[in-house]
Amino acid sequence: MSNWEVRCWSEFSVEKFGLNHDEPELFVTSQSGLWPLTGYAWVALTEAKVHSGIAIWWEGHLTCWRRGYVIYRVGAIALWLVAISIMSFTSLSSFDPGMGMMSWFLYLRHWALLVVAVDAIYQAATTLNTFIKSNGLESPYPSAHMPIHLKAQWVISNIALGIGLFASIVEGTVFYSGSLTEQPLDVFPLIILPLYVIVDLYITARPIRLFHFFHPMAYAFLYTGMAMLIQYTTEMTAHPLLDWSNPLFVGLYTGFGFGLGLFVIWLMVYGLYRTRLLCSGTTENNKDNDEEKPYDPFK
């Protein structure tokens, strides 16, 4: 059996349901070759003796591509804090003040914005923690043991990736009833969500597993339950298709629609992940789980 066939069949093994991985550093690094420009620019400044003292300190603590990745992770926090602020202001100002924050949680796009913002903050925290522990010299994860905080990051990132795409597609095609020109701020998350999560998928070295499609699916069902609760307490609905006055029909509709839709989207995500590995030139196989291994930044 060829290596390609072995890799394909390995995706359907039982252990792929879990969160164990023998290369924890993949979750706090970028895919190889995606962040060289910041390093080249800093080397040029160093050779020109511009900010030489800072450059010496920086060069001793972080390699060029890791600098870029840390900057990217911190910048992502600012992006999503702005996005959450915009959506909170525009959404809450358009509803009855008596409803309070309940109205904000009525829409799937807001749930997507929230989990993507949490993911951006969490990834930045783990990346900075890795930098501090490693001091830029060696991996802070010398063993193949997957720490619990990276397992949590993996789940959150999977949810953010799946829900970010799903919310944009569903609300942009099925649920959205307004005009794109009449309510431009309502369209803002439908554009920025898929753009960010796809870019992030290509930048990070985090692996994607087919069997992890149930992570975003569970989050979508949590949103469905919350939408039902909000309707029963406030009589507000996000869309006529989510009117729980007929719970059997809506339950079957959302269960089948959300489940099938998220599964198809996750297949697309896995295809993008494999494309990322192909574009990065990753060919070396992991000896334990036969997954492709990008350039090791700690060596």
Residue in 150, 167, 149, 158 with CA at minimum distance from that of residue 111: 167
Give the model's confidence band at 63: pLDDT under 50 very low, under 70 low, under 90 confident, else very high: low
- Asked whether residue 283 carries a pLDDT value surpassing 60, the answer given is no
Contact 256, 224 (CB under 8 A): no
pLDDT at 288: 40
Give the model's confidence band at 32: pLDDT under 50 very low, under 70 low, under 90 confident, else very high: low
Q: Could you write out the DSSP letters of every residue in 206-235?
A: ----GGGGHHHHHHHHHHHHHHHHHHHHH-
Residue in 184, 228, 217, 260 with CA at minimum distance from that of residue 239: 228
pLDDT at 165: 94
The segment with the largest mean pLDDT, out of 47-51, 106-110, 272-276, is: 272-276
pLDDT at 209: 92
pLDDT at 132: 76
Q: How far apart are CA 81 and CA 77, in angstroms?
A: 6
> For the segment 79-96, what is each residue's pLDDT rounded down to a tens digit?
777 777 666 665 555 555
Higher-pLDDT residue of 129 and 161 is 161
pLDDT at 290: 43
The pTM of this model reads 0.77
Q: How far apart are CA 212 and CA 159, in angstroms?
A: 9
At 185, the amino acid letter reads: L
Q: Which of 35-49, 71-85, 88-102 has the lowest mean pLDDT?
A: 35-49
> For the segment 112-145, what is each residue's pLDDT rounded down to a tens digit?
988 998 999 999 888 888 877 766 545 566 666 7
> For the segment 190-201, what is each residue's pLDDT rounded down to a tens digit?
788 898 999 999
Higher-pLDDT residue of 153 and 42 is 153
> For the segment 214-254, what is each residue's pLDDT rounded down to a tens digit?
999 999 999 998 888 888 888 787 777 788 888 888 888 88
The segment with the largest mean pLDDT, out of 30-39, 81-90, 265-274, is: 265-274
